[in-house]
Amino acid sequence: MNSGTVETPVFMPVGTQGTVKAMSQQELASMGFEIILGNTYHLYLRPGAELIQRAGGLHKFINWHGGMLTDSGGFQVFSLEHIRKIGEDGVVFRSYVDGSYHEFTPERVMEIQSAIGADIVMAFDECAPYPCEKDYAVEAMRRTHEWAKRSQDSAGADQAFFGIVQGSVYQDLRAESAEFIASLDTDGIAIGGVSVGEGKQLMMNAVDWSVPHLPEHKVRYLMGVGTPEDLIDSVVRGIDMFDCVLPTRLGRNGSLYTTYGRINIKNNRFIDDLTPIDPECDCWCCRNHSAAYLRHLYKCDEILASRLATYHNLHFYATLMRRIRQAVEQGRLMEYRKEFLEKYRKHAAAVHDELPRLETDREGRMRSGMEYVEKGE
Amino acid sequence: MNSGTVETPVFMPVGTQGTVKAMSQQELASMGFEIILGNTYHLYLRPGAELIQRAGGLHKFINWHGGMLTDSGGFQVFSLEHIRKIGEDGVVFRSYVDGSYHEFTPERVMEIQSAIGADIVMAFDECAPYPCEKDYAVEAMRRTHEWAKRSQDSAGADQAFFGIVQGSVYQDLRAESAEFIASLDTDGIAIGGVSVGEGKQLMMNAVDWSVPHLPEHKVRYLMGVGTPEDLIDSVVRGIDMFDCVLPTRLGRNGSLYTTYGRINIKNNRFIDDLTPIDPECDCWCCRNHSAAYLRHLYKCDEILASRLATYHNLHFYATLMRRIRQAVEQGRLMEYRKEFLEKYRKHAAAVHDELPRLETDREGRMRSGMEYVEKGE
């Protein structure tokens, strides 16, 4: 990659519109993140690929010195079902910014991603919804394969190119898709069409059905995943890369990851809790502030609340991935998994009751949450 | 003060609810701010003085190592005209948080400020509205004087106590009020009842009519002021302390102070401006980001936009005050004023056309903007 190497397994914070919400680029680097994700769909519509190119690419436009991956925008245009027209050549959609019409084809999307200039670019794919009849899953997969070839042919030489496996929740389709994408000339392979509301079991099935058909030497990226538990369980299955809006979105909503499970800071039990939210965390938030102060900031709708919580949650993910990497190196991933989960699930039951079910959504991968897609997370 | 000394003339960023909006405490310190302001009215209602006291005071609750001043909350309760009942003893008002009734008397307000534990506390006063008939201005001033005595009698020994001069736009009342407040046992004296929509000339009159009656050895604090020009012109007149929401509020609204005047970052002329917003500024925002990126963040309603702009504006104020202090030391304040204004007014005319008139408002001092008071800025 242009911007150096990245240690895997790796989690990429989502910087939809050229910013990881509530964070500065310096803060992301301070937590040890080496690569972030940008959304082609959003950046194409605003500020536009032309301006980003004129700025010298997205790295320079936002002043980020680490790695950068852009998705293909395919999912976002497919999410906006009421305004899309799908053809063999591509998809016509309306801009959520000004209502104008646009067309994404594999060639156009690769051209846009080239202008944006990320280190890793993704093939244009069709992410089938969930639930999905098998007939449609076949059709979407076939189109994805066709578009993957055309994307590959249009990909620039100076960017790493990843194909995307589809196939919905069908074992034979996942196997067929994985084999096909593995046959292309790619630098890495993503498993897409997951985290669309199918639940953890079906998601892990999709991984298990795809991975055996993927070459050992290529990086594997599970798109839009996931919870801390999802990350560990996917690394166990051979996944190397992840992205997800959970830590940032939940942070802004007052939901915080801790060693002992996820908590809702707005809960009354934190009113006069003058200790840090996670006694085992050494992040900027936990070193400096109490749960009571954080709760107060949330109640007052203060920007610092989103900043502290987002930082804390991303720091939690960065720490988790670092420990996963260490455990992999030491050949003790399953022991680490057990240790982590024993603590983490301590309060899990209570936590799941009080929080909305957002576990499986990702940037633009949540069909029931269109407002997120349109607003840029 | 408990937290050390503060160099004057000094500007205090406004931290209404225990946070200077969009900033971290570390960022405030990094800009060189030595003292910030908290609003008694807001903090009393949420999270409550009791919790702050239990945390060891506001410094500890928010983890701020610099100085802290709390206003008396008087103005805020007087701003909420439709729900107040003014008596000789104090004011009854309704909480904007939950609608409950509360009474502020001088004794109660000093007790609350003692619990909050700021380094400097203010007397409970009545800030007359503008415009204001002379009869009412006399009545409000008389009540302010009575309450100032009672506040003085209730003030704790471990906090610096400031009285407040009132008298509206009337020369004889300002003189009478300044003389009366000067006769009390205070550590500093504030000029209140300004920046309420009376305009620059009447505001400077209030300063000119009050200052001659104030003792040389006591700090003078002009409440809720002001624009960069107001700050210089007030220091020229002998003022030592200021607070104002302008840099933070305008920052959040996309209005940025630059060496060459105030700009609106949403303006189309910044669409493809890949240079910093102020070529002469070395702040975090200007060292790292372009006007085009900042504009993009604003257009997308991203939190980082508010962060960068607030930091930049506060840095502008911090730099201005540092240069004013240097100029005072070197005995060349009027030359500095001329130099500053020559550059700053370069684009002033254009700027004033495109921006809302917010020049004279301060935290809770804007009767036409009740939503700001209620929301906590």
Which ipTM score applies to this complex? 0.93
Is A303 close to B21, i.e. CB distance below 8 A? yes
The alpha carbon of residue B306 is apart from the nearest alpha carbon of chain A, in Å, by 9
Kindly identify which residue of chain A lies nearest to residue B287, measuring between CA atoms: A63
Structure tokens at B11: 């500007």
**The predicted structure's pLDDT at residue B353:** 39
Residue B47 at interface with chain A, using a CB cutoff of 8 Å:
yes
The shortest C-alpha distance from B340 to chain A (Å) reads 31
Per-residue pLDDT of chain B (377 residues; tens, 9 = 90+): 445 789 999 999 999 999 999 999 999 999 999 999 999 999 999 999 999 999 999 999 999 999 999 999 988 888 765 667 889 999 999 888 898 999 999 999 999 999 999 999 999 999 998 999 999 999 999 999 999 999 999 998 999 999 999 999 999 999 999 999 999 999 999 999 999 999 999 999 999 999 999 999 999 999 999 999 999 999 999 999 999 999 999 999 999 999 999 999 999 999 999 999 999 999 999 999 999 999 999 999 999 999 999 999 999 999 999 999 999 999 999 999 999 999 999 865 444 434 333 333 333 333 233 333 444 55
Cα nearest neighbour of A295 on chain B = B47
CB contact under 8 A, B19 and A302: yes
Interchain pair B293, A18: CB under 8 A: yes
CA distance A310 to chain B (A): 11
Which of B296, B301, B373 to mutate to test binding with chain A, by most A CBs within 10 Å of its CB? B296
Q: Which amino acid is at A214?
A: L
At A195-209, the pLDDT tens digits run: 999 999 999 999 999
The question of whether B233 is a catalytic residue gets the answer no
Q: Which of B231, B224, B230 is nearest to B196 (CA)?
A: B224
Would you state the pLDDT for residue A74?
84
Residues of chain B found within 8 Å of residue A58, distances taken between Cβ atoms:
none
**Which residues of chain A, if any, have pLDDT below 50?**
1-2, 349-375
Domains and CATH numbers, chain B: 10-249+361-375 (3.20.20.105), 254-354 (no CATH)
Phi-psi region of B307 (alpha: psi -120 to 50; beta: other; left: phi over 0): alpha
Per-residue pLDDT tens digits for A245-288: 999 999 999 999 999 999 999 999 999 999 999 999 999 999 99
3-state secondary structure at position B226: coil
CB count within 10 Å of CB A25 equals 22
Cβ partners under 8 Å of residue A181, min gap 6: A145, A148, A163, A164, A165, A189
Task: Indicate which residue of A240, A243, A278, A361 is catalytic.
Answer: A243
Residue B158 CA to residue B7 CA, distance in Å, equals 20
Burial class (CB in 10 A: 0-12, 13-18, 19+), B282: exposed
Among A41, A300, A311, A371, which would you mutate to test the B interface (most chain B Cβ atoms within 10 Å of its Cβ)?
A300
Question: Residues 6 or more apart from B107 whose CB is under 8 A from it?
Answer: B150, B154
Q: Which residues does chain A have within 8 Å of residue B299's beta carbon, measured at their own beta carbons? A: 46-47
How are beta strands A91-94 and A101-104 bridged, if at all? antiparallel
Handedness of CA A107, A111, A113, A119 (dihedral sign): positive
Confidence (pLDDT) at A2:
46
Token pair listed for B121: 């506390």
Q: Is A29 on the interface with B (CB under 8 A)?
A: no
Q: Counting one residue from A and one from B, how many pairs have CB atoms under 8 Å apart?
A: 102
The single-letter code of the amino acid at A86 is I
Asked if B340 reaches chain A (Cβ–Cβ under 8 Å), the answer is no
Of B65, B71, B73, B72, residue with least CA distance to B6:
B65
pLDDT for the residue A377: 52
Inter-chain residue contact A274 with B47, CB threshold 8 Å: no
CA dist A248 and B302 (Å) reads 13
How close is the nearest chain B Cα to the Cα of A132, in Å? 33
Q: Per the residue annotation, which of B71, B233, B240, B361 is the catalytic one? A: B71
The whole-number pLDDT of residue A363 equals 35
List A residues 268-287 in contact with B (Cβ-Cβ < 8 A). 271-272, 274
Q: Is residue A243 annotated as a catalytic residue, yes or no?
A: yes
Kindly name the residue from A71, A230, A240, A361 that is annotated as catalytic. A71
Supply the pLDDT for residue B4.
76
Which tokens is B346 given? Answer: 């370069």
Between helix A303-329 and helix B303-329 the angle, nearest 10°, is: 110
Nearest CA in chain B to A20: B304
Nearest to B297 among A19, A274, A301 (CB): A19
Question: Could you tell me the two tokens for A334?
Answer: 């399953």
Sort out which chain A residues have CB atoms less than 8 A from B288's CB and list them: 25-26, 63
CB contact under 8 A, B288 and A25: yes
Distances (CA, A) of B305 to A304, B22, B162: 13, 10, 36
Residues in chain A, overall count: 377
Given B119, B233, B243, B278, which residue is catalytic? B243
